[in-house]
Structure 1
Amino acid sequence: MQTQEAEIDGPAGRIAVADHGGDGPDVLLVHGANRTLLDWEPLRRELPDARLVAYDLRGHGRSDVPADGDYGWDAHLADLDAVADAVKLTDPYVVGHSLGGMIAICHGRRRPECPGVVDLDGFGGGDPALHPGMPPQEVVRRRAAQIAALASAPSVLSDEQVAAITAQVRQRAQAMGVDPALEEAATRRSLAPEDAPEDASAWRRKPSPAALTELLAPLDGWNVFSVLRQTRCPVLLVQAGQVPPMAQLPDEFRELNEALIAGIAQELATLSGPRLERLPDAGHLLHLQAAAEVAGLIRTFLKS
């Protein structure tokens, strides 16, 4: 079956959906924050024996921005249900990356009968308890400062700025071993035309940097490991082995992220129940950098 793209009615507007078809178990693919459904292109080619459906999260790609700014877990789960119903998936496996992985875990907790969920390197960081050795109030302060710094980037771009950004994206993708053309396509998918003077064109980022506070608000005080301990369906966790480069970060942000990495390691060491796999040679975009390996882990999980 050839991929069919469509828009469906969701709880907060239209949701862009890509139905890749395929025979085998139903699998719903959920991308991460500031990404799009194109993230799953390398992985889907490695999973021909599953019925794969992907969609753009609310406010991302070609899906509508929620008018009320609601990016909470219940809102994401309502969108997930709307997609599954629209394309007639019956009790699907849910595979997510980063934020999408945490959405998958939330789905698994509320649906004990779910056949299984997969979280690809989605461990959050909004709970101060995940930052050992750092006072809770300092975690909150530094995290808010880090988000504010990211949110200060321009939301509307000119053609020249888009060209410069896509060039940077392609260069970064090349360095990571990711398909530059796919990364450029995803970047352009995350732009929407903006009203501009007759002699100019402009593009609005989706989600806009200004929306980051709302987008990341559900992570405040939220701990994925607490949710995992309440989840009864089968779970596969896949952790990236490469730590993102942090030498260029301000000290307060570098220390915040180093504490988080240590906290995640402590939690994973004591977690029982979920199956845990690590990919030592892949970074956070592990489903793009090591699609064949990730697909192999998912394939084994679906069969088991």
Structure 2
Amino acid sequence: MKVLALHGAGGSPADWDAVIAAMGGAHEVVALPLTGPWDWDSVLDRIEPHATDNPAVLGMSLGGMVAALWGSRHPECPAVINLDGHGVPTQPQRYLHPDAVAEEIATLRESFRAYGQPDLQQALEDLDCFDVFRGLRCPMLLALATKPLPGHPLFEPYQQGLARDLPTLPPNVEVVHVDTTHAMTREDPTMVATLVNTYLANR
């Protein structure tokens, strides 16, 4: 099966090299660059020329969010595999008690924007991934990291919000938890490759 692979923010198509090698040629993986402008329709439009033969779409973080948007546009998509792309920790609606973490959210938002691409950060904050997930008609695998990245003070309250929201997803969205941090493609490419190959085996 043809698989389009979409990297995370600040990444590149080369981020998939180890995963593709570990997949052992089971599928034809085409790794694509994700670039602005960050209007989601235009991002999807730039993917369209590569989407011959109704491919599956695999995405990491930002790429996972775009993969879900692709599935929303293309209900005929055979599979979306979303690696930890479920929103950003600066979205208040992702917390059980957003007022209690408002100061931490504001600090994190400023640190994110200090890295550049404030237009991307705003686009991500404006995108409610769970609204997208609930509207999907194609099958999607959502793989969630269970370990925090260093210096992520909002990891635990964010995970509590996820635990609230995950049961609201439709049955065509399968959720798995993986014993890695958000950097799963770098930490354990073999695990990611096995996850992808297994999910695609019967599609």
User: Partner of 2:28 in structure 1?
Assistant: 51
For the 8 Å contact 2:80–2:141, the answer to whether it is kept is yes
- Superposition misfits of 4+ residues, deviation over 6 angstroms: none
Displacement of 1:77:
0.7
Q: Work out the CA distance in 2 between the residues paired with 1:303 and 1:35.
A: 27
Displacement of 1:294:
1.5
For the 8 Å contact 1:108–1:231, the answer to whether it is kept is yes
Give per-residue Cα distances to partners, 1:263-283, cap 9 Å, x unaligned: 112222443421111112x11
TM-score, normalisation: structure 1: 0.60
SS in 2 for 1:32: coil
SS in 1 for 2:135: coil
Q: Work out the CA distance in 1 between the residues paired with 2:161 and 2:38.
A: 25
Q: Work out the CA distance in 2 between the residues paired with 1:145 and 1:82.
A: 39
Equivalences for residues 6-85 of structure 1 within 5 A: 25-47=1-23, 48-58=25-35, 66=36, 70-84=37-51
User: Partner of 1:202 in structure 2?
Assistant: none
| Higher relative contact order (Cα pairs below 8 Å, separated by 6+ residues) | 2
Of 227, 233, 237, the residue aligned with 2:142 is: 237
Displacement of 1:144:
4.7
The percentage of aligned residue pairs carrying the same residue is: 31
Q: Is the alpha carbon distance of 1:223 and 1:150 closer, same or farther for their aligned partners in structure 2, counting shifts above 3 Å?
A: closer
- Higher helix share goes to which structure? 2
Displacement of 1:257:
4.3
User: Partner of 1:285 in structure 2?
Assistant: 183
SS in 2 for 1:283: coil
For the 8 Å contact 2:60–2:85, the answer to whether it is kept is yes
Displacement of 1:232:
0.3
Q: Is the alpha carbon distance of 1:57 and 1:97 closer, same or farther for their aligned partners in structure 2, counting shifts above 3 Å?
A: same
Q: Work out the CA distance in 1 between the residues paired with 2:122 and 2:50.
A: 23
Q: Work out the CA distance in 2 between the residues paired with 1:128 and 1:151.
A: 17
SS in 1 for 2:200: helix
Q: Work out the CA distance in 1 between the residues paired with 2:197 and 2:116.
A: 38
Unmatched segments (≥5 aa) in structure 1 = 1-24, 59-65, 153-208
For the 8 Å contact 1:128–1:221, the answer to whether it is kept is no
Q: Is the alpha carbon distance of 1:146 and 1:53 closer, same or farther for their aligned partners in structure 2, counting shifts above 3 Å?
A: same
Equivalences for residues 145-156 of structure 1 within 5 A: 145-152=107-114
C-alpha root-mean-square deviation of aligned residues, in Å?
2.1
1:271 corresponds to 2:177: no
